[in-house]
Amino acid sequence: MKNKLWLFYAIITALTWGVWGALIEIPQKAGFPATLGYSVWALTMVPYAIVALMIIKFKLDRDFKSVLYGMIIGLTGAGGQILLFQALFEGPAYIIFPVVSLFPVITILLSLTILKEKSNKLGWTGIILALVAIFLLSYMKPKSMEIDGYLWLGLSLLVFSMWGVQGFFMKLANNSMKAESIFFYMALSGLLLIPIAIWMTDFTQEINWGFKGPFLAALIHTLNSIGALFILYAMRYGKAIIVAPLTSLSPMITIVLSLIIYSVMPNPAMIVGFVLALIAIYLFSVSEI
């Protein structure tokens, strides 16, 4: 942790995911469903998985534990994304996103109790501020207060748990296998769930198959794939209790780009979250963790 290499990789992850978050609505608003966007994302993982394998000279970790860890990481991540689609279909986004965004809490708790990770006062202050910032950055102004049923809440909590567990296993797996192997299994898991995403797609609606559809989605989702690889390197060199909340601050990048591209002013909660995020990043960079 002392050489701060983890910080470099974590910031790259936050940057790529932040830009991805700001641009991903473009193909969706152009008529390309998010479920098909998932399928495109899974495919964009493939070339990076090949590059990852080239880095390790195709010496993939194939023992039972490596395959198990790799598939847990991949399926909890990709599976959580699939469930999120359904949660957003069932319930209000203004509650779902803040709930799901706090998944680093699960990663932190598991890393503290099982991996026995520790930090100093500055590090813990940064962690707490980051968690508050994550919640505020995910705040959305409610368009309607009507809520039908509670299936969406169960799905949201399930996504929250799955992504938190994924972060923990990213760190656990990095202790015994290569990050590049983990990424390969993440890509494989994403591909395996494509049929479910296609099944969830409403093909009765008009779908944009032009450049602003799958092709633009592929270019944008490439950023997500790059971030997925870099967070594994961040987990390799850093502590999960720090890396998880730091990489989850990507919405601050999204807010800045949304302001520049769409002239969308963030609400007061997001502004406070942005400030807290900057303070948290500073504390992470100067603390001995």
For residues 263 and 256, give the distance between their C-alpha atoms in angstroms, rounded to a whole number. 10
How much is the average pLDDT of 129-147?
82
Check if the beta carbon of residue 162 is closer than 8 Å to that of residue 76.
yes
Closest listed residue to residue 142, CA positions, set 280, 39, 269, 7: 269
Largest interatomic CA distance in the chain? 55
For the cut 70, the answer to whether the pLDDT of residue 144 exceeds it is: no
Instruction: Report the percentage of the chain scoring pLDDT > 90.
Output: 77
Q: How far is CA 192 from CA 71, 101, 177, in A?
A: 11, 25, 22
CA angle 176, 182, 188 (to 5 degrees): 145
For the cut 60, the answer to whether the pLDDT of residue 289 exceeds it is: no
Q: Which residues are within 8 A (CB) of 133 and not within 5 positions of it... i.e. 6 or more apart?
A: 249, 252, 273, 274, 276, 277, 280
Q: Which residues are within 8 A (CB) of 230 and not within 5 positions of it... i.e. 6 or more apart?
A: 9, 10, 12, 13, 16
Check if the beta carbon of residue 135 is closer than 8 Å to that of residue 273.
yes
How much is the average pLDDT of 120-135?
94
Give tens-digit pLDDT for 8-43.
999 999 999 999 999 998 999 999 999 999 999 999
Question: Considering the chain, what is the average pLDDT of its residues?
Answer: 92
How much is the average pLDDT of 62-91?
94
CA angle 115, 244, 176 (to 5 degrees): 45
For the cut 90, the answer to whether the pLDDT of residue 84 exceeds it is: yes
For residues 89 and 132, give the distance between their C-alpha atoms in angstroms, rounded to a whole number. 26
Residue 93: predicted pLDDT: 79
For residues 23 and 253, give the distance between their C-alpha atoms in angstroms, rounded to a whole number. 11
How much is the average pLDDT of 68-94?
92
Give tens-digit pLDDT for 191-212.
999 999 999 999 999 999 999 9
How much is the average pLDDT of 75-92?
92
For residues 231 and 1, give the distance between their C-alpha atoms in angstroms, rounded to a whole number. 15
Residue 261: predicted pLDDT: 84
For residues 147 and 159, give the distance between their C-alpha atoms in angstroms, rounded to a whole number. 19
Instruction: Report the percentage of the chain scoring pLDDT > 70.
Output: 96
Give tens-digit pLDDT for 153-186.
899 999 999 999 999 999 999 999 999 999 999 9
The pTM assigned to this predicted structure is 0.92
Residue 89: predicted pLDDT: 85
Q: Is the dihedral of CA 35, 260, 264, 254 positive or negative?
A: positive
For residues 190 and 265, give the distance between their C-alpha atoms in angstroms, rounded to a whole number. 34
For the cut 60, the answer to whether the pLDDT of residue 2 exceeds it is: no
Give tens-digit pLDDT for 230-267.
999 999 999 999 999 999 999 999 888 888 888 878 88
Residue 150: predicted pLDDT: 80
pLDDT band at 145 (very low <50, low <70, confident <90, very high): low
Residue 267: predicted pLDDT: 87
For residues 224 and 239, give the distance between their C-alpha atoms in angstroms, rounded to a whole number. 22
